[in-house]
Amino acid sequence: MKWISPYLEEGNWYKGNLHTHTHVSDGGFSVDYAVIGYQHMAKHDFVVLTDHNYLRKMNPDKAISFEILNEQYKEKNFTIIEGREESFAHHILGIGVKMIYGVDSIRKDAKDYTLEDYQFLIDCIRQEGGLVYMAHPHWREFDHWSAQDIMALDGIDGIEIINGNRFSGPGNLATDVWDEVLSKGKKVWGVANDDCHSPATFWVAWNTVRAKSNSKSDLLAALKQGSNYFGNGAEFGRIEVQEDTLIVECSDRNVFQTCVKIFRFIGKDGECLKMQCGMERYAEYKAKGDELYVRVELILNNGMVAFTNPFYLV
């Protein structure tokens, strides 16, 4: 019996936000400002620009040349990835796919959208080679994306567990939906994103991806296999499996920033299988054998969190 880790053994850790809006749709920043902000201020390694693709606010004249943008940032080793937020009714993130202008084939009132319509949008993203994430499950109404809906759709890579746009409000955290889906046997990864529309939602939640490099192809390949943890500032210095034992350690930066660290090992139905609270920076979990999955939450006493993706036993 041993744990299978979603994390790449070789590689480095790269930080980035998978969900950003610009002047191309309803974002508060120009493309240049958004990119400068994430590269220069947040010191991230990549950003995905995911403007809304609904017609009302789209302006093809503002189309972004990702080739030119990436050329400009090559020396800074910063990667800008194209994406879009399918926003016809409930939102779906397509990562690594181009903005499509004029997609109007299934436009209708939000209440009339069916799961077949959403499956069509997901299939479009996959056909273009993109990754699919269900955006902000608790946006406005509690069941923007219910576990039931997510179970009924195929081709989903992950769920946006933390959405920075609602970081200070209720309903921003979707671990309940995630655990329900994982407990029903569907393997989907978690991500945390700014959903940046304004300075208030800039650099509040992000992903730390273990990848071979921060090239678009290496980042997408790593995300595809779940080689990321995510949160709003807590950092893991170590995420490791040794046979039937999961080992996590918080980074040096967190040791100096704070004292109390809570490690929670979460299993089926969101049950906390083990919790450790105190000064200790290291925690481990030994498999019992009947866990469907285990994921780890690191919570610091300054409010910062970091969540791993789930581990499975073989």
Binding site for Zn ion (CB under 5 A): 85, 91, 135, 195
Question: What are the backbone angles phi and psi of residue 311, rounded to the nearest 5°?
Answer: -110, 145
To Zn ion, the closest distance from the beta carbon of 26 in angstroms equals 9
Closest CB to Zn ion among residues 135, 188: 135
To Zn ion, the closest distance from the beta carbon of 85 in angstroms equals 5
Closest CB to Zn ion among residues 144, 264: 144
Closest CB to Zn ion among residues 91, 261: 91
To Zn ion, the closest distance from the beta carbon of 21 in angstroms equals 6
CA distance 3 to 198: 41
How long, in residues, is the chain? Answer: 314
Structure token pair of residue 302 = 């300054």
The residue behind tokens 């970091």 is 306
To Zn ion, the closest distance from the beta carbon of 160 in angstroms equals 9
Q: Give the residue from 221, 151, 218 showing the smallest Cα distance to 188.
A: 151
Concatenated DSSP letters for the chain? Answer: --EEPSS-SSSEEEEEEEEE--TTTT-SS-HHHHHHIIIIIS--SEEEE--B--GGG--GGG---HHHHHHHHTTTT-EEEEEEEE-SSS-EEEES----TT--TT---GGG--HHHHHHHHHHHHHTT-EEEE--TTSSSTTTT-HHHHHH-SS--EEEEEEGGGTTSTT-B-HHHHHHHHHTT---EEEEE--BSSGGGSSS-EEEEEES-SSHHHHHHHHHTT-EEEESS--EEEEEEETTEEEEEE-HHHHHH-S-EEEEEE-GGG-EEEEEEES--EEEEE--S--S-BEEEEEETTS-EEEPPPBEE-
To Zn ion, the closest distance from the beta carbon of 197 in angstroms equals 7
Closest CB to Zn ion among residues 84, 216: 84
Closest CB to Zn ion among residues 27, 231: 27
Closest CB to Zn ion among residues 33, 312: 33
Q: Which residue is nearest to Zn ion (CB)?
A: 91
To Zn ion, the closest distance from the beta carbon of 53 in angstroms equals 11
Closest CB to Zn ion among residues 25, 251: 25
To Zn ion, the closest distance from the beta carbon of 247 in angstroms equals 35
Closest CB to Zn ion among residues 103, 313: 103
To Zn ion, the closest distance from the beta carbon of 195 in angstroms equals 4
